[in-house]
Amino acid sequence: MSEPRFTGFPKDGVSWFQGLSLAQNREWFHAHRDAYEALWLQPLTALLAELPAPLAKIHGRKLGPPKLFRLNRDVRFSKDKSPYKTHVAALVPFEGFKPMEGPAALYFHLGLEDLVAFGFYALEPLALQRLRKRLVDEKTGPVAQKLVDAALEHGLTPDGMEKLKRAPVGIDPGHPRIELLKYKGLALSSTSIPRGVRFTAGLKDWMLEQAAAAAPLIKWGFEQKLA
């Protein structure tokens, strides 16, 4: 029996998360679990089954198994103590890296908040030092900036999970690539999914188009041994 094909996330899924956001308790979740599985879990599972093969082709690299994140929030170290997230989230890592400990071929979450992202988020201190050295260098730095600028034309923006408010220690605040240098990673993301594809099967193709736009910068990051 063939696996179900991804046909999109139903619009009713957003209202489901609105209800969860208002209730934020175990009783509400279990009373509405069947709707969660139909509106979110089933299409998400289908999407994750279809993404790895074209993503591997885009990046020219082998990928690890996709990771579906739990809906329960880890409140131990979070200011937000609500027990449930208000989105589903998943990640497709590159082979050889644990999820959230290496570069992502694709990360996304969908719900009351939408985000798609690609690249190097969890940089170790030495890798971050190497990145900043490459960005400052007048041979490698302009190449990275050019790749970022090209991604901007596709609606992606620089990202890195964390961004300093000031220039890193030892970096000239007036450096032409200072905004990239403030990030603690090298990634690209978008929170604006076109309305025409958000609730259709076209969401998969749009994600792959964004992945293709991000791929040259990720390739540069691998070449600079950020992972």
Assign 77 to helix, strand or coil.
coil
Q: What is the pLDDT of residues 37-83, one digit of tens each?
A: 999 999 999 999 999 999 999 999 999 999 999 999 887 766 778 89
Structure tokens at 188: 């690209």
Q: What is the pLDDT of residues 102-155, one digit of tens each?
A: 899 999 999 999 999 999 997 999 999 999 999 999 999 999 999 999 999 999
Cβ distance 63 to 56 under 8 Å? yes
Vertex 70 angle, CA 67 and 73, to 5°: 135
pTM strictly above 0.95 = no
What's the rounded Cα separation, in Å, for the pair 201 and 207?
A: 11
Structural domains of the chain sorted by starting position, each given as residue range(s) with its CATH number in brackets: 12-223 (3.30.930.20)
Indicate left, alpha or beta for 103 from its phi (over 0: left) and psi (-120 to 50: alpha). Answer: beta
